[in-house]
């Protein structure tokens, strides 16, 4: 049942031009960044050749690129997730799901899965760029894999947050803006130069970005994995609760 | 043989904040029954239907579908229900075929039977020709029919239709009514509508809800015996004399509705033949002689308009 809803959600995305437009724009921007990054590497390469333990092509080209992918997804994720529930509420189609023999968690998880699959599809397309470097050079596969895994986790938390926000309102735009607001807040939360050590480390822990950075360094730490999984689970549970509670309040 | 009880509703309450929308409604629906839900706007019809289908949670009360408690085992209970809400839940970007096959999947129709179920629903609702078209491009009537197709697709024991004939043309209305009657033979059906003749044409039982309370619940048969056919309307080409009509054997009262029109009340046997004979002997020229069929409307008006100062609907 989960997969029925997920596949419907995924296909729905491709029925509107929005998904295609986002794919095209994202691909274009990242291709440009990728080429600039490769260009930078080409100019740096002769100087780096002599240095012991110098950063390789993975550090100079791939890591910044993936960092940008994460940032760009923060901008586009709200546009994808905004319709998930608010559209259904607005068009009063939610009752189809509510009167079908499916549980609330199936509905929320199905929607989440559909959106996440779309994000992963985008990620795979974007990963083709750094992977193309294999044609001419060798990459640090471990670092690349860690980076992609980190991004996949980041995107699933984006999807969970977006799905929850969409369940709060009938207005897709409101859902998009509040999703974006929350994502941005979680992205920059560690920027505050708080002098207190403990507060600063708490904010750093809460930040979406710091955890991604460690993945991009090739660091696979359970703390980071747990952070994204907790965040995703939290918002999925909130989404299920929200849908349940709506049956009570009407 | 006892008829099978498909829906059992007991003491159903529903508050919206402090507003009491449904106030202790309880009824049963047996297999082979078509239950008509009547009531003025805002009486709580849709709220009741939404609760029975699990779209809204009741504030208090118990709902059992085929003996399965809706609140305890929602998944099993919902599998027995087909629901057409007031606004058909359609995705305008899908074709009719895609939409119905998605609905079949949601209702756990096994893959082997899915194609057959969709084909049968299409055929029953007269949608065969539009299967490949986008729902968003269909007319309101066709969209309504897609909504009905969605409700009967998985062959549920209970079909709940909230104003199913809205936006249909007279031919389609006849077809849908025939479909409802046909479904009513094997399923249990709850039908809400504002159109009183529709209830008379399709339902086997009538319930009137007013201010969240069940104020009337009778079978159509009882209704017919008790209310319908206790009055005759007679119309003539030339002015008639009310005093003469009152003298006819069996007529208890007569009222003039115009120079050429009168209503005759009677208690026991229908005196229509004597009235006709009388009109013929007086040479008034009979234009119309009909049993009064307006009585459900009278019941409705009586029950829903009389108590304007009813008990306040406030939460304790």
High-pLDDT (> 90) share of chain B, %: 32
Residue-level pLDDT at B315: 37
The pLDDT tens digits of the residues spanning B215-244 come to 888 888 877 766 655 778 888 888 888 888
Specify which residues B25 forms β-bridges with.
B12
Where residue B134 falls among pLDDT bands split at 50, 70, 90? very high
Task: Give the number of domains in chain B.
Answer: 2
Contact call for A1 and B108, based on CB within 8 A: yes
Residue-level pLDDT at A57: 82
A16/chain B closest Cα distance in angstroms: 8
In a domain, B255, yes or no: yes
Residue-level pLDDT at B1: 40
Residue-level pLDDT at B175: 85
Higher pLDDT, A124 or B282: A124
In a domain, B127, yes or no: yes
Contacts of A12 in chain B (CB under 8 A): 91, 93
The pLDDT tens digits of the residues spanning B160-187 come to 999 888 878 888 888 888 888 888 888 8
What is the mean pLDDT of each successive set of 10 residues along chain A, which is 250 residues long?
92 90 93 92 84 80 90 93 91 91 94 96 92 85 92 96 94 95 91 74 86 90 94 96 86
Half-sphere exposure at residue A214, Cβ-oriented, CA atoms within 13 angstroms: 16
In the predicted model, what is the mean pLDDT of residues B123-149? 90
Stated length of chain A: 250
In a domain, B276, yes or no: yes
Residue B87 CA to residue A16 CA, distance in Å, equals: 23
Which of B108, B138, B155 is the last residue in one of the domains? B155
Mapping DSSP onto H, E and C, the string for chain B reads CCCCEEEEEEEEEEEECCEEEEEEEEEEEECCCEEEEECCCCCCHHHHHHHHCCCCCCCEEEEEECCEECCCCHHHHHCCEEEECCCCCCCCCCEHHHHHHHHHHHCCCCHHHHHHHHHHHHHHCCCHHHCCCEHHHCCHHHHHHHHHHHHHCCCCCEEEEECCCCCCCHHHHHHHHHHHHHHHHHCEEEEECCCHHHHHHHCCEEEEEECCEEEEEEEHHHHHHHCCCCEEEEEECCCCCHHHHHCCCCEEEEEEEECCEEEEEECCCCCHHHHHHHHHHHCCCEEEEEECCCHHHHHHHHHHHCCCCCCCCECC
In the predicted model, what is the mean pLDDT of residues B47-53? 92
Residue-level pLDDT at B293: 61
Q: What is the ipTM of this complex?
A: 0.86
Which of B100, B123, B155 is the last residue in one of the domains? B155
In the predicted model, what is the mean pLDDT of residues B30-50? 88
For chain A, the residues whose C-beta falls within 8 A of a C-beta of chain B are 1, 4-5, 8, 12, 15-16, 91-103, 247-248, 250
Residue-level pLDDT at B228: 57
In a domain, B251, yes or no: yes
Residue B220 CA to residue B202 CA, distance in Å, equals: 10
Q: Which two tokens stand for residue B70?
A: 């809706």
Q: Which two tokens stand for residue B271?
A: 């005196």
Contact call for B89 and A92, based on CB within 8 A: yes
Q: Which two tokens stand for residue B74?
A: 């929602």
Whether B314 shows a pLDDT value over 60: the answer reads no
In the predicted model, what is the mean pLDDT of residues B68-90? 91
Q: Which two tokens stand for residue A166?
A: 């969409």
Where residue B195 falls among pLDDT bands split at 50, 70, 90? confident
In a domain, B91, yes or no: yes
Where residue B316 falls among pLDDT bands split at 50, 70, 90? very low
How many C-beta neighbours within 10 Å does residue B115 have? 13
Residue-level pLDDT at B310: 43
Residue A131 CA to residue A138 CA, distance in Å, equals: 10
Contact call for A103 and B74, based on CB within 8 A: yes
Q: What is the mean pLDDT of chain B?
A: 85
Please give the torsion angle defined by the CA atoms of residues A191, A193, A199 and A205, in that order, rounded to the nearest 10 degrees: 30
In a domain, B13, yes or no: no
Residue-level pLDDT at B227: 62
Contact call for A100 and B91, based on CB within 8 A: no
Residue B118 CA to residue B112 CA, distance in Å, equals: 11
Please tell me whether the overall predicted TM-score, pTM, comes out greater than 0.95 for this model: no
Residue-level pLDDT at B105: 93
- The CA-based angle B200-B202-B204, given to 5 degrees, is 80
- The CA-based angle A50-A54-A60, given to 5 degrees, is 120
Whether B305 shows a pLDDT value over 80: the answer reads no
Residue-level pLDDT at A250: 65
Where residue B9 falls among pLDDT bands split at 50, 70, 90? very high
Q: What's the farthest any 2 CA atoms get from each other in chain B? A: 73
Which of B100, B130, B155 is the last residue in one of the domains? B155
In a domain, B22, yes or no: no
Residue B184 CA to residue B130 CA, distance in Å, equals: 26
Instruction: Write the CATH number for B273.
Output: 3.30.70.100
Task: Give the number of domains in chain A.
Answer: 1
Asked if B75 is an interface residue toward chain A (Cβ–Cβ < 8 A), one would say yes
Domain range for residue B279? 229-292
Where residue B313 falls among pLDDT bands split at 50, 70, 90? very low
Domain range for residue A136? 2-249
């Amino acid at each position: 049942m989960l997969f029925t809803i997920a596949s419907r959600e995924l296909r729905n995305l491709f029925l509107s031009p929005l998904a295609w437009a986002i794919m095209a724009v994202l691909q274009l921007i990242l291709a440009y960044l990728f080429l600039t990054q490769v260009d930078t590497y080409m100019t740096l390469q002769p100087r780096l050749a002599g240095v012991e333990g110098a950063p390789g092509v993975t550090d100079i080209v791939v890591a910044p690129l993936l960092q940008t992918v994460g940032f760009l997804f923060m901008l586009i994720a709200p546009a994808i997730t905004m319709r998930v529930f608010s559209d259904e509420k607005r068009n009063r189609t939610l009752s189809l799901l509510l009167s079908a023999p499916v549980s609330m968690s199936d509905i929320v998880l199905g929607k989440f899965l559909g959106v996440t699959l779309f994000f992963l599809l985008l990620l795979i397309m974007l990963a083709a760029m750094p992977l193309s470097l294999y044609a001419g050079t060798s990459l640090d596969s471990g670092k690349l894999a860690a980076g992609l895994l980190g991004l996949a986790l980041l995107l699933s938390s984006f999807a969970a947050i977006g799905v929850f926000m969409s369940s709060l309102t009938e207005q897709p735009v409101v859902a998009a803006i509040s999703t974006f607001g929350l994502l941005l807040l979680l992205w920059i939360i560690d920027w505050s130069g708080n002098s207190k050590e403990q507060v600063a480390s708490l904010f750093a822990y809460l930040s979406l970005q710091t955890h991604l950075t460690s993945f991009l360094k090739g660091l696979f730490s359970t703390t980071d994995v747990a952070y994204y999984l907790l965040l995703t689970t939290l918002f999925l549970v909130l989404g299920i609760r929200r849908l349940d509670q709506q049956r009570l309040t009407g | 043989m006892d008829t099978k009880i498909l829906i059992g509703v007991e003491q159903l309450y529903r508050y919206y904040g402090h507003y009491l929308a449904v106030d202790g409604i309880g009824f049963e629906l047996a297999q082979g029954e078509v239950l008509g839900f009547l009531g003025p706007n805002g009486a709580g019809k849709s709220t009741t239907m939404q609760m029975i289908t699990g779209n809204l949670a009741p504030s208090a009360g118990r709902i059992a579908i085929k003996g399965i408690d809706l609140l305890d085992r929602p998944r099993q209970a919902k599998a027995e229900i087909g629901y057409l809400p007031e606004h058909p839940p359609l995705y305008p970007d899908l074709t009719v075929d895609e939409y119905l096959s998605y609905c079949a999947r949601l209702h756990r129709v096994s893959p082997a039977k899915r194609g057959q179920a969709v084909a049968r629903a299409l055929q029953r609702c007269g949608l065969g020709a539009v299967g490949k078209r986008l729902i968003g491009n269909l007319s309101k009537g066709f969209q309504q029919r897609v909504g009905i197709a969605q409700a009967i697709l998985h062959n549920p024991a209970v079909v709940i239709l909230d104003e199913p004939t809205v936006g249909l043309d007279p031919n389609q209305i006849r077809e849908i009514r025939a479909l409802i009657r046909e479904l009513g033979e094997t399923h249990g059906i709850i039908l809400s509508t504002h159109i009183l003749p529709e209830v008379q044409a399709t339902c086997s039982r009538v319930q009137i809800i007013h201010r969240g309370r069940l104020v009337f619940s009778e079978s159509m048969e009882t209704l017919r015996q008790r209310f319908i056919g206790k009055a005759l309307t007679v119309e003539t080409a030339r002015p008639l004399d009310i005093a003469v009509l009152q003298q006819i054997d069996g007529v208890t009262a007569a009222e003039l509705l115009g120079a050429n029109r009168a209503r005759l009340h009677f208690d026991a046997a229908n005196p229509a033949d004597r009235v006709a004979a009388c009109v013929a002997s007086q040479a008034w020229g009979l234009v119309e002689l009909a049993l009064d069929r307006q009585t459900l409307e009278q019941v409705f008006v009586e029950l829903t308009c009389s108590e304007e100062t009813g008990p306040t609907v406030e939460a304790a």
